[in-house]
Structure 1
Amino acid sequence: MPTNTSALPLTTVSSENSSSIYDYDYLDDVNVLVCRKDEILSFGRVFLPAIYSLIFVLGLAGNLLLLVVLLHYVPRKRMIELYLLNLAVSNLLFVVTMPFWAISVAWHWVFGSFLCKVVSVLYTINFYCGIFFITCMSLDKYLEIVHPQPLHRPQTRFRNLLLIAIVWTTALAISVPEIIFVQVHKTSDGVWHCYADFGGHATVWKLYLRFQQNLLGFLLPLLAMIFFYSRIGCVLVRLRPPGQGRALRIATALVVAFFLLWFPYNLALFLHSLLDLHVFGNCQISHYLDYTLQVTESLAFFHCCFTPILYAFSSRRFRQYLKAFLAVVLRWHQEPGTTHALPSSYSGSSRVTAQEDMVSMSDLGERQADDFLNKGDVGNS
């Protein structure tokens, strides 16, 4: 669950989920610094519900639009579209949890024990799935461009479908602590809160879960994206296809966007771990880190609003389908048969003129695969 989702009294221990481990006080050990967090709680009750509500509105609208276009217009023959479809579903499930946390921060948990566990598990699964599918999309573009293979090869499609299943399974495995430890708790004043209670091992669990977030949720995906897109950049420079400059800018933008959204949050989590390990710290530093964590976490959550659109618009083909969909919406009075018609820009004649336009990395990958098949035909001859 997000930061400050359970506004616990300052005499109890709060435990959060794997993506946002954050204390209002440090009472897990008698040697740990004890600080009052009244101002931080007050700030969170105003700031976080507003941000969570904004994320819910923007994420719901953007991912629903993406989902409709993918389901009704895009032929799901290429894996990049299938990854994007799973990313949109994951982000939708993620933003659906935002209203629950907003109400919990502003007031308290009013949704019962069952929804406490379900919402927490949904949050964690889709938190990680969103990051993993972004990494899978960079892997897919890397394989299409650097190691081109036939696009509809059965073995390739099976491998990618297996990778999608592994992503969901891995995210489910990561959410096991929520399945086991998350439950509702009633305070002495009769207020209910939803959080993970790790008992006497809270500090150990929090350090482990923060490390897991830093490693699986940021460092490894970032290094993978840097490797994949740098190799893609080398191929683009060597082949010099039409639109090379635009493709390089897209690759750079995807890596930079991921870094800017996630680095501040993961740095704040890492500093919180150092604080719990008594490497440094006093109450003033603790307060600053608490404010920083709330702000950087909110920034990171916007990934579900902006990242799918950024990846979708990196494909020229998707922009054509989106234009067709918007044209249908604006001309809703036309015949129903036009709602599912493919955009004219997808016709064979437009493929010729596409060479004169700036192409995306996905278009380059498809051309690489076509060249691979043509070379195979020549060899057989």
Structure 2
Amino acid sequence: MVKDATLCSGTPKSAMPHTTDNPANVTVYDYQYSDEEDYIQFVVCTKENVKAFGKLFFPVVYTIVFLLGLTGNFLLFVILTRYTKKKMTEVYLLNLTVSDLLFVVTLPFWATYAASHWVFGNAFCKIIGVIYTISFHSGIFFISCMGLDKYLEIVHAWSNKNLRAPRKSFLVSSVVWVVSIVLSIPDFIFIQVQDLHNGKQICHLDYGQHNSIWKLLLQFQQILLGFFLPFLCMVFFYSRIACVLTALMSPGKKRALRLVVILVAVFFVLWFPYNVTLFLHLLQNLHLINDCEISKDLDYALQVTESIAFIHCCLNPLLYAFVNKQFRLHLKKLLGAIFRRQKFFALQLPETSHSSSRCTDQVEMTSITKL
């Protein structure tokens, strides 16, 4: 009789990113009970190649996503706060933008962590972990809210018009933030810095003696609330929208239908591979997958699919705002104002230098006269 159990420190925990050190020391331990011997055979499945790949891959990807996501969402935030009216769609989009900005702000910390080890202390370990989890869930929820808003606007244009009042959107947004904060409570409680034997530190979730149970519950919650239910909502909302648009004989029907298909397709392409990989890791934690090579492949897959999913914060401004003609006009106006201001300061600099030079000449001439 042989019993196999697998314990993998390379498994993702909650919604924290899959960095090289969290899971840092990606090593699998196989315990085999032999019929012929009375002791346990200890076999180590090392994953140094996986760790080395992450140290190079994550810093580059996180830096690119940070720069693109910060630029796009900051421009969208300025447009929404300065140029648009606070209708229901704009309220959800503004909250989505804030969520994405919070998300990208955490990426430089995770990039540094992936390249070396955690150097920011225990307090920042908790703060960054909680911000990451809140923005992770709230971003998905606000995308679903925007689908609901379009559903009410197009499918139930008249009967549910009161449901799209701006004050209702503020109420729904508040609920989304509260739920996201509640979902981050386990991170706030269990995230901590741990010292390794080599003098380095890791920022990870430590559930103590209930580690396996908590890990399974939070992985299941992430798959359910972070993809499965939002995706079902999007499919329902946008399929009903597509049916209504197909029945209408409006000139912009094809363009609107194309946008609907793109929204659902992009969400699926970005998030489905990541959640499939999370589910396979869940099976690994249940000891249904014990093979070392498969475990390594799952770690590689998780690193790549997670990075693909992170692209969502870069694409949201393009998908939900800048494809709109009015938003493009606002963007052009904003960029024009920025460039005009830069040009103004560029012109002022030579004039200021010329004035300073002229004042210096006058002082010198005065000094010469006094002599």
Query: Compared with structure 1, are the counterparts of its residues 151 and 308 closer, same or farther at alpha carbon in structure 2 (3 Å cutoff)?
Result: farther
**Which among 219, 225, 248 is matched to residue 216 of structure 1?**
225
Report the identity percentage.
49
CA–CA distance in structure 2, aligned partners of residues 219 and 197 of structure 1: 26
Structure 1: 4+ residue segments shifted above 6 A: 28-33
The alpha carbon displacement at 1:156 in A equals 3.0
In structure 2, relative to structure 1, the CA distance for the partners of 1:194 and 1:210 (3 Å cut) is same
Alignment of 1:330-369 (within 5 A): 330-332=339-341
Q: Which of 286, 300, 310 in structure 2 is aligned with 1:277? A: 286
Tell me whether 280-289 or 114-123 shows the greater mean CA deviation: 280-289
Contact 1:20 1:210 survives alignment (8 Å): no
Q: In structure 1, how many angstroms separate the alpha carbons of the residues matched to 2:245 and 2:8?
A: 56
2:123 maps to 1:114: yes
Aligned residues: CA RMSD: 2.6
Is it true that 1:58 corresponds to 2:68 in the alignment? yes
Q: CA deviation at 1:326?
A: 2.7
Cα deviation for residue 153 of structure 1 reads 5.0
Distance 1:201 1:334 in 2: 61
Q: Where in structure 2 are the equivalents of 1:150-299 lying within 5 Å?
A: 153=162, 156-299=165-308
Whether the 8 Å contact between 2:154 and 2:241 is mirrored in structure 1 is yes
User: Could you tell me how far apart the structure 1 residues matched to 2:244 and 2:209 are?
Assistant: 53
Q: Which residue of 1 aligns with 2:14?
A: 18
Which has the bigger relative contact order, CA under 8 A and spacing at least 6? 1
Q: Of residues 78, 86, 91 in structure 2, which corresponds to 1:68?
A: 78
The answer for unaligned runs of 5 or more in structure 2 is 1-6, 34-41, 345-371
Structure 1 residue 252: deviation in Å? Answer: 0.3
Deviates more, 1:191-200 or 1:318-327: 318-327
2:57 maps to 47
Q: Aligned match of 2:103 in 76, 94, 97? A: 94
Secondary structure at the aligned position of 1:74 is classed as coil
* C-alpha distance in structure 2 between counterparts of 1:29 and 1:97, whole Å: 37
| Per-residue Cα deviation, 1:133-182 (whole angstroms, up to 9, x for no partner) | 11111111111111124999598333221110111011111111111000
User: Which structure is larger by alpha-carbon Rg, 1 or 2?
Assistant: 2
Displacement, 1:58? 0.8
What's the TM-score once normalised by structure 1's chain length?
0.79
Contact 1:28–1:202 (Cα < 8 Å) also in 2: no
Q: State the Cα deviation string for residues 81-124 of structure 1 (Å, max 9, x = none).
A: 11111111111111111111111111111111111100000000
Query: CA–CA distance in 1 between the matches of 2:182 and 2:213?
Result: 19
Three-state SS of the structure 1 residue aligned to 2:232 is: helix
Question: 1:312 is matched with which residue?
Answer: 321
Select the residue among 37, 40, 56 that pairs with 2:47.
37
Of the structure 1 ranges 271-280 and 239-248, higher mean CA displacement relative to structure 2 is found in 271-280
Are 1:85 and 2:85 counterparts? no
Per-residue deviation at 1:256? 0.3
The one-character-per-residue Cα deviations of 1:240-295 (angstroms, maximum 9, x if unpaired) are 22200000000000000000000110011111111222223411111111001000
Cα 1:34/1:266, change in 2 over 3 Å: farther
Q: Deviations over 1:322-369 (max 9, x none)?
A: 23223333444899xxxxxxxxxxxxxxxxxxxxxxxxxxxxxxxxxx
Q: Which moved more, 1:13-22 or 1:211-220?
A: 13-22
What one-letter code is carried by the residue in structure 2 that aligns with 1:41? K
Q: Is the 8 A contact 2:274 2:302 kept in 1?
A: yes
In structure 2, the CA distance between the partners of 1:102 and 1:135, relative to structure 1 (3 Å rule), is same
Deviation at 1:233, TM superposition (A): 1.0
Structure 2 vs 1, CA of residues 88 and 28 (structure 1 numbering), >3 Å: closer, same or farther?
A: farther
1: distance between equivalents of 2:69 and 2:324? Answer: 20
Contact persistence 2:28–2:292 (CA under 8 A): no
Q: Secondary structure at the match of 1:85?
A: helix
Which residue is 1:351 aligned to?
none
Q: Kindly tell me the number of residue pairs found equivalent between the two proteins.
A: 324
**What is the CA–CA distance in structure 1 between the aligned matches of 2:122 and 2:10, rounded to whole Å?**
17
Match status 1:132 vs 2:141 = yes
> Which is richer in strand?
2
With normalisation by structure 2, the TM-score equals 0.81
Distance 1:152 1:333 in 2: 44
Distance 1:285 1:68, change over 3 A: same
SS of the counterpart of 1:97? helix
1:324 aligned residue: 333
Structure 2 letter corresponding to 1:141: K
